[in-house]
Structure 1
Amino acid sequence: MATDIVILGAKGRMGNTLVNLTLADDELNLVGACERKGNAAGIDHDGCTASDCLDELLPEVPGAVIIDFTAPEASVENARVAAKHGNPVVIGTTGLNKEQVAELEKSAKETPIFFAPNMSVGVNVLLKVLPQLVQYLGEAYDMEMVETHHKMKKDSPSGTALKLAQCLAEARGWEYDDVKKHCRDGIIGERPQKEIGVQTLRGGDVVGDHTMYFFGPGERIEVTHRAHSRETFASGALRAAKWVALQKPGKLYAMADIF
């Protein structure tokens, strides 16, 4: 049985990619598309209801899975609306703070919600294997990261960079907020051993690059993930949509739950 899909921000770069992949997948039905107020005109796909109000759209598509790559404040509100109507949600929005994630967890008690700042299979495999690398190398290796994205990206560091850096910190038994260094400028002195630097580059149309450095005595290791296309993230989100449609409310699901 095909999974019904509602795409938020359907006219955006990611939204348009999601629309095309959904239409090409026999296991998915595009039943709804939602845009900002006054911007829904021009969305024209057979069997798809276009709207600029999610609260009004959802009663027409009961049970459809919502896919949201919008903005932190919008995603939190969209999750509340979805919980009200009982629609499952897949959220790939980045830049959410702890309070906003806590709000998603509240909504997840009412309807199944899947949240991942990066839907790439490769990145999520990295999150599994990086702790082992950190532990094997030991504390003699300094850990740093550089992330690069297109010039339109609004949050910094990226949600993926933060997730990867938090993974590194946890592998050392550190609290990330205590050791993070997102900017260096001026006479800063020697680098502390207990520190993880995450530096940001923005420019052009780079989809997303993340390189982790392990600087040790006489050598260094570099681990890089490069996303070549937004389809990488969109495909992961659609995979998550098929999965979360079969789940029950009660927790905020993540990629680790699928694995």
Structure 2
Amino acid sequence: RRSITMVNSCTGKMGKSVAEAAVSAGLQLVPVSFSAIEVPDGKLNICDRDIHIHDPSESERILRSIAKDYPDMIVVDYTVPDAVNANAELYCKLGLPFVMGTTGGNRQLLNKTVQDANVYAVISPQMGKQVVAFLAAMEIMAEKFPGAFAGYKLEVMESHQATKLDVSGTAKAVISCFQKLGVSFDLNEVNLVRDPEEQLAIVGVPEEHLGGHAFHNYHLTSPDETVSFEFQHNVCGRSIYAEGTVDAAMFLHTKIRSGADKKLYDMIDVLREGNMR
């Protein structure tokens, strides 16, 4: 049986991308989503499918109802940071397996909620599989060779669409690895590029992706400035995250079908499974 997915919320750019990727991958898309954003006729058309948009205040009542119609449903959450914990509590209360792609919220509480409820879930602030693999490699290096870059100077530049105000979670994780490798660096030193003109002229972001991109550059220089290392990962658009999210939903579907003892997973678990598109 194919995986059945409900995307909460399809009205956001990320949720819409995930819904499109799910249909493209052959998953069955539940024609219901929740959003405080009003849409014409209360419907959104995605890949020739009408998705009925309901107010979040109705989510418990409607989720209870559609869970009966779609007993194998997996919920994918791309909402807002403020809703992360309440949404997870609702999914757990109803026994609904879910993939949490939304960043923010209280992550410790989020994990505890899932563990206490014993519900299947994939939780990751970074759904891009290749970016996760790069992060994992950085963590292995930091663990195996602590202090390897002691004395080196680190410069970090990260560029995202203007609506992203904070330092990206991925940059924070990579910086943490460099700190374990012996580099002295403070998060306030990150060069946050959010000005579209600067992104075009200096960073090199293609114009069509100014509204959705993630460019990261980490530059290391030796104390005597004779040696330098550069790590870079540039993402245009949202397809890398959407495809990773769909893989996470399919992975979770497989774990549920096999009755796996482990219930809470992250993207490293999905990567280890290996059968990614």
TM-score, normalising length from structure 2? 0.75
In structure 2, the partner of 1:158 is 168
**C-alpha separation between the residues in 2 aligned to 1:249 and 1:58?**
25
**What letter matches 1:58 in structure 2?**
L
- Whether the 8 Å CA contact 1:79–1:107 is kept in 2: the answer is yes
Summarize the Cα distance change of 1:232–1:35 in structure 2 as closer, same or farther, 3 Å threshold: same
In 2, are the aligned partners of 1:209 and 1:226 still within 8 Å (CA)? yes
1:212 aligns with 2:191: no
- Residue 127 of structure 2 corresponds to 119
Residues 147 and 200 in structure 1, CA contact (< 8 A), matched pair in contact too? yes
Q: Residues of 2 paired with 1:141 and 1:131: CA distance?
A: 18
Stretches of structure 2 that go unaligned for 5 or more consecutive residues are 197-209, 273-277
C-alpha spacing 1:146/1:87, structure 2 compared with 1 (3 Å): same
- Number of residue equivalences: 236
Partner of residue 145 from structure 1, selected from 126, 143, 156: 156
Query: 1:101 and 1:249, CA in 2 relative to 1: closer, same or farther beyond 3 A?
Result: farther
Task: Judge which range, 236-245 or 122-131, deviates more.
Answer: 122-131
Match of 1:168 in 2: 178
Residue among 59, 63, 68 paired with 1:58: 63
Return the match for 2:96 from 87, 92, 95: 87
Give the helix-richer structure, 1 or 2.
2
Whether contact under 8 Å (2:81, 2:103) holds in the other structure is: yes
Q: Measure how far apart 1:88 and its partner are.
A: 1.3
Q: Cα deviations across residues 100-134 of structure 1 (Å, max 9, x unaligned)?
A: 01121122122122121211122111112224555
3-state SS of 2:190 partner = strand
The sequence identity of aligned pairs, in percent, is: 23
Aligned-residue CA RMSD in angstroms? 2.6
| Unpaired segments ≥5 residues, structure 1 | 184-196
- Who is 1:193 aligned against? none
SS of residue in 2 equivalent to 1:238: helix
- 1:132/1:240 Cα in 2 relative to 1: closer, same or farther (>3 Å)? closer
Shift of residue 199 of structure 1?
2.8
State the SS of the aligned residue for 1:138: coil
User: What is the identity, as a one-letter code, of the residue corresponding to 2:219?
Assistant: Y
SS in 1 for 2:6: strand
CA contact (8 A) 1:31 1:49 kept: no
Query: What is the alpha-carbon distance in structure 2 between the residues aligned to residue 12 and residue 160 of structure 1?
Result: 21
Whether the 8 Å CA contact 1:5–1:67 is kept in 2: the answer is yes
Superposition deviation, residue 213 in structure 1: 1.8
CA contact (8 A) 2:156 2:217 kept: yes
Task: State the partner residue of 2:19.
Answer: 19
